[in-house]
C-alpha cells in the first residue's frame, strides 16, 4: 500500500497554501476548463472509435456512428472557421 499513501501525501502537499509548485501545476493546464472545441474534439474521437469498432460487427451501425462523427466534425469546423 505504499503507492496509495504516496498519492495521499502528494495531494496533501499540493493543498498546502504555501506550495510554490502549485503555480507550476496550474500552468500545465490541470485546472483549465475545456473549450467547446476541445469538448467536441473529444466527442469526435470517441465517435470515430465507436464507429470503427462497430464496423467490424455491424456495418450499418458503424455508418450511423460515422455520420454522427461527421456532423460533430462540421460543427468543429464552423467554430474554428476552417
Interval 45-81: pLDDT, tens: 999 999 999 999 999 999 999 999 999 999 999 999 8
Residues 47, 21 share a domain = no
Residues 6+ apart with CB under 8 A from 34: 42
Place of cell 476541445: 38
How many structural domains is the chain composed of?
Answer: 2
Banded pLDDT at 9 (limits 50, 70, 90): very low
Residues 79, 44 share a domain = yes
Query: Domain span at residue 23?
Result: 1-32
Residues 69, 45 share a domain = yes
Residues 49, 9 share a domain = no
Q: Helices 36-57 and 59-80 sit at what angle, rounded to 10 degrees?
A: 160
Cell numbers linked to 39: 469538448
Dihedral through CA 52, CA 57, CA 62, CA 64, nearest 10?
A: -160
Residues 49, 80 share a domain = yes
d(CA 13, CA 31) in angstroms, rounded, equals: 17
d(CA 82, CA 74) in angstroms, rounded, equals: 10
Residues 25, 11 share a domain = yes
**Which pLDDT score is estimated for 29?**
62
Residues 80, 57 share a domain = yes
Model's pTM, two decimal places? 0.61
Amino acid at each position: 500500500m505504499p503507492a496509495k499513501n504516496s498519492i495521499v501525501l502528494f495531494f496533501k502537499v499540493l493543498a498546502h497554501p504555501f506550495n510554490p509548485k502549485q503555480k507550476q501545476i496550474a500552468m500545465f493546464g490541470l485546472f483549465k476548463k475545456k473549450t467547446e472545441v476541445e469538448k467536441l474534439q473529444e466527442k469526435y474521437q470517441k465517435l470515430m472509435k465507436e464507429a470503427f469498432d462497430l464496423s467490424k460487427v455491424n456495418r450499418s451501425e458503424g455508418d450511423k456512428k460515422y455520420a454522427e462523427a461527421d456532423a460533430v466534425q462540421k460543427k468543429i469546423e464552423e467554430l474554428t472557421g476552417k
